[in-house]
Amino acid sequence: MARIAYDHADAGAFASTRHLGDEEAGEWQAAVTRHLDPQPGMRLLDLGAGTGSWAKAFSSWFPGVEVTAVEPSMAMRERSVYQPVVAGDAADIPLPDASVDAAWISTVLHHVPDLNAAARELRRVLRPGALVLIRSAFAGRHEAITLFRYFSEAIRVLDTYPSVAQVEAAFGGEGFSTVSLEQVPQITAASLHEAATTLRREAHTLLQLITDEEYDTGLGRLHQAALTETGPVIDALDLLVLRRE
C-alpha cells in the first residue's frame, strides 16, 4: 500500500502545485534526452504517472514516442492531464512481456512496498537493454532540496524512503545494472514568496507525515524567510539510471 492513499483532495493539490512548466523542467528534458536518445516508435512507460504532467511533457518533447501512463490512484487518473492513463502499479503493470523500451519513475519509489517485486515486474515488461530512469529524493540525500531548509523535521521521513543503495540492490538482483546517478536542477518556484503562498501540504508526502505542530513551525520559518530572500527556488533531485541486461 502507498504511504498516501491519494484521495481527490490530495490529487487536486498535486495537480495544482506539482506540475513543472517547460522552462522549469528544461534540465530534466536535457537529462532524459542525454540518456535515452528518444526516437519515433519508442515506447516509454510512465509508471506512477500521477496527474500526467510527465507523460504530457514527454509527448510534447519527443514526437513519435508512444507514452503509456500507468497510475494506481483513481483520483489521480481522473485528474490526469494526459490520456489515456491506465490502472496499475509497480507490482502489476498491465503491459505484455518485453513490450517497453524505457521506463520513467518520478517520485514514486517511496510508495512501493516491495522494491524486489517492482524490479521483477519492470524486468518482465522491459526489452533487453532498456533503461529505467528514476527521479527521486532518496534517503540521506536532502541537502539540495529547499523544502528541508524550513521543514527540517521532514528529514526523518525522507530517511525512511529507499536509499540509492537499496534500490540498486533490489534491481541488481533482477539483472539491472547502474548506468549513472546525477543531480538534476529544476526551478521549483519563481521566488520563495511564491513557494510559501502556493504550498499545499496535501501535495507532499513528506509534509503529510510530520505532525501538525511541526508543519506549522516549518511553515512559519518558510514565510519568515520569504520576507527577505529573493530569486528563484532551485532544487535538485536525483536521477538514477538503470539498465536491464
Q: What is the CATH number of domain 8-145+155-188+234-244?
A: 3.40.50.150
pLDDT tens per residue across span 93-113: 999 999 999 999 999 999 999
pLDDT of residue 23: 73
pLDDT tens per residue across span 8-34: 555 555 555 456 777 778 999 999 999
CA dihedral 147, 152, 157, 158 (to 10 degrees): 50
pLDDT of residue 4: 54
The pLDDT of residue 1 is above 60: no
Which amino acid belongs to residue 53? S
Average pLDDT over every residue of 147-173: 98
What is the phi-psi region of residue 28: left when phi exceeds 0, alpha when psi lies from -120 to 50, beta otherwise?
alpha
Integer angstrom CA distances of residue 198 from 13, 92, 212, 229: 10, 35, 18, 16
